[in-house]
Amino acid sequence: MRYEDMAISVTELNSYIKNKIADDEYLNNVLVKGEISNFKNHYTGHMYFTLKDENSLIKCIMFKSYAQKLDFMPKDGMKVFALGGVSVFERDGVYQIYVKAMQEDGVGVLYKKYEELKHRLEEEGYFDVAHKQKIPKMPKTIGVLTSQTGSVIRDIINVSTRRNPNVHIRLLPVPVQGEGAAEKIADGIRIMNENKLADVLILARGGGSLEDLWPFNEEIVAHAVYNSKIPVISAVGHETDFSISDFVADLRAPTPSAAAELAVPDIYEVKQKINTYQNRLRLSLVKKVEIMKLRYEKCMSSRVFKEPLRNINDNYLKIDTYIKRLESCIQAKQKEEKTKYVELVSKLDALSPLKTLTRGYSLVEKDGEIIKSVNDVKSEDKIDIRFVDGVKEAKIL
C-alpha cells in the first residue's frame, strides 16, 4: 500500500482533533485560573491574551460580544478566572480558550480598598498641588528606596550616572512587595528624612499585579510620603499603573528610568545651556559697548560739548528780548488806560452838578432832596440854597 493512500492532510488532522475536543463536555465549559500576559485589545473589540501559571500557558480569545459585558479592563499581570470552551484553531493547529466570561481573582476587594483610601486621602488634602515640593534643580545625592537586587536600581544608577557622573546614589534597600513591605518602606522614608541622607527621594519598583504593588497603596506609606521633608518622586509599576504613592508624591514618574531623568539633570545639557547663555551675554555686551560708543561720539561732536556756554548765552539774549517786549507791552497798556481815565474824568466833570454852579446857578434843597417844583414846598418851609462856594438857609414866605 502506498503512503499516498494512507496519509491524511494537515487540515483533516486538525479538524479531527477539533472534533474530538468538541465532543468532550468538560472542555466545552471549563473554568480556568491564571495570570494575564500579552494582552491586546484589538480595534475590532476582540481581546487576545495568554493565561499562564508557574509552569504553563494557554492562548485565549474573547470576542467583542462577550468583552463588552466585562466590568473591568484586563491588563498584563492581572490574575483572573476565565470561563469558556477549549477548541482548535484549524488554520494554525493550536488550541485555545474561547472565553465567554471573566472575573478578577481577588483583585476586586483590593481595588475597592484602593478606591476608598484614594477618595479619603484626596478629601483630606493629601493630593493637593499646594503641598507638593519642587524637585531640586541640581541635587548632589539621590536617595533610592527599592529592592537591592533587580533591574530597577540598575536602571536608576545607569541613567543617573550617565546624565551626571558626579551625582551620588544612596540606596536604602526595602522590600517592595509582600507582608510587612509597607512598614519597611515607611521606615525607609523616615530614616532618610531624620538623617538628611538625600536631596531627593525616588520610590521605585517594577511592574506587577495589583497585589504585587499593594504596599505602595497602604496608608502608612501615604503618610510617610506626605510628611517627608525631602521631595519624593514615585515610580511604581508600569506607565499605566497608578498607586496611592503616585498621587501623594511631589512628582510621579512613569518608570524608574524616567524618575532618574526627572531627578538628575543632564550635565551636558546644562553645560550647553551655560555656554549658550555666555555667548548671548558676550554678544549683548559687545552690542551695548558699540551703542555706548556711538552715543559718546555723537555727544562729543555736538555743539553742547564743543561750546557749552553758547546755549546759555543764546538763552540770555532770548530772555532780554522777552523782557523788553514785556516792558513795551506794559507801557503801552498804561498809556492806553491813562487816556481812557482822562476821558472818563472829563465826561464825569461835564455832567457834574457842581460844574453847573460855577456858571451862576444854584440848587434848592429841602431835607437833603433837590426841589424840582413849586409844589414841593409850602409857606414857612425851611430850605437850603447851595451855591458854588457854600450853602445858605432860607424860609418860604
Torsion sign over Cα 107, 113, 114, 119 = positive
pLDDT at 356: 67
Cα–Cα distance between 12 and 247 in angstroms, integer?
Answer: 57
Question: What's the CATH number where 132 sits?
Answer: 3.40.50.10550
Cα–Cα distance between 291 and 298 in angstroms, integer?
Answer: 11
Q: Are residues 283 and 221 in the same domain?
A: no
Q: Are 232 and 132 in contact (CB under 8 A)?
A: no
Q: Is residue 297 part of a domain?
A: yes
Q: In the structure grid, which three cell numbers stand for residue 101, read together?
A: 466570561
Percent of the chain with pLDDT over 70: 93
**Per-residue model confidence as pLDDT tens digits over 215-236:** 999 999 999 999 999 999 999 9
Cα–Cα distance between 313 and 217 in angstroms, integer?
Answer: 88
Of 180, 112, 181, nearest in space to 145 by CA: 181
Q: Which range of residues forms the domain containing residue 373? A: 354-395
Query: Does the structure show a pLDDT above 90 at 199?
Result: yes
pLDDT at 15: 87
Confidence of residue 109 (pLDDT cuts 50, 70, 90): low
Q: Are residues 231 and 94 in the same domain?
A: no
Of 384, 381, 374, 376, nearest in space to 396 by CA: 381
Query: Does the structure show a pLDDT above 70 at 106?
Result: no
The residue among 52, 85, 105 that closes a domain is 105
pLDDT at 340: 87
Q: Are residues 276 and 296 in the same domain?
A: yes
Q: Are residues 100 and 117 in the same domain?
A: no
Q: Is residue 327 part of a domain?
A: no
- Neighbouring residues of 23: CB distance < 8 A, sequence distance ≥ 6: none
Question: What's the CATH number where 36 sits?
Answer: 2.40.50.140
pLDDT at 311: 74
Q: Is residue 326 part of a domain?
A: no
Confidence of residue 246 (pLDDT cuts 50, 70, 90): very high
Q: Is residue 273 part of a domain?
A: yes
The residue among 88, 105, 122 that closes a domain is 105
Confidence of residue 316 (pLDDT cuts 50, 70, 90): confident
Confidence of residue 54 (pLDDT cuts 50, 70, 90): confident
Cα–Cα distance between 358 and 389 in angstroms, integer?
Answer: 9
Confidence of residue 183 (pLDDT cuts 50, 70, 90): very high
Query: Does the structure show a pLDDT above 80 at 189?
Result: yes
Strands 232-236 and 200-205: parallel
pLDDT at 362: 76
**Per-residue model confidence as pLDDT tens digits over 331-351:** 988 988 888 888 887 787 777
Query: Does the structure show a pLDDT above 70 at 323?
Result: yes
pLDDT at 392: 82
pLDDT at 309: 73
Q: Is residue 341 part of a domain?
A: no
Q: Is residue 80 part of a domain?
A: yes
Counting the structural domains of the chain, the total is 4
Q: Is residue 272 part of a domain?
A: yes
Q: Are residues 242 and 180 in the same domain?
A: yes
Q: Is residue 329 part of a domain?
A: no
pLDDT at 65: 94
Q: Are residues 83 and 160 in the same domain?
A: no
pLDDT at 353: 66
Q: Are 57 and 44 in contact (CB under 8 A)?
A: no
pLDDT at 3: 67
Q: Are residues 249 and 371 in the same domain?
A: no
pLDDT at 111: 76
Q: Are residues 8 and 61 in the same domain?
A: yes
pLDDT at 168: 95
C-beta neighbour count of 205 within 10 angstroms: 28
Please give the angle made by the CA atoms of 225, 239 and 152, to the nearest 5 degrees.
Answer: 70
pLDDT at 263: 94
Q: Are residues 147 and 119 in the same domain?
A: yes
Q: Are residues 40 and 152 in the same domain?
A: no
Q: Are residues 124 and 227 in the same domain?
A: yes
What number is the average pLDDT over the span 292-312? 75
Higher pLDDT, 380 or 175: 175
Q: Which whole-number Å values give the CA distances from 379 to 338, 368, 397, in the listed order?
A: 51, 18, 5
Confidence of residue 171 (pLDDT cuts 50, 70, 90): very high
Higher pLDDT, 313 or 213: 213
pLDDT at 5: 67
Q: Are residues 151 and 193 in the same domain?
A: yes
What number is the average pLDDT over the span 134-144? 94
The residue among 38, 73, 105 that closes a domain is 105
What number is the average pLDDT over the span 139-149? 93
Cα–Cα distance between 84 and 102 in angstroms, integer?
Answer: 9
Cα–Cα distance between 153 and 125 in angstroms, integer?
Answer: 31
Q: Which whole-number Å values give the CA distances from 391 to 364, 365, 395, 397, in the listed order?
A: 10, 10, 14, 19
Query: Does the structure show a pLDDT above 90 at 124?
Result: yes
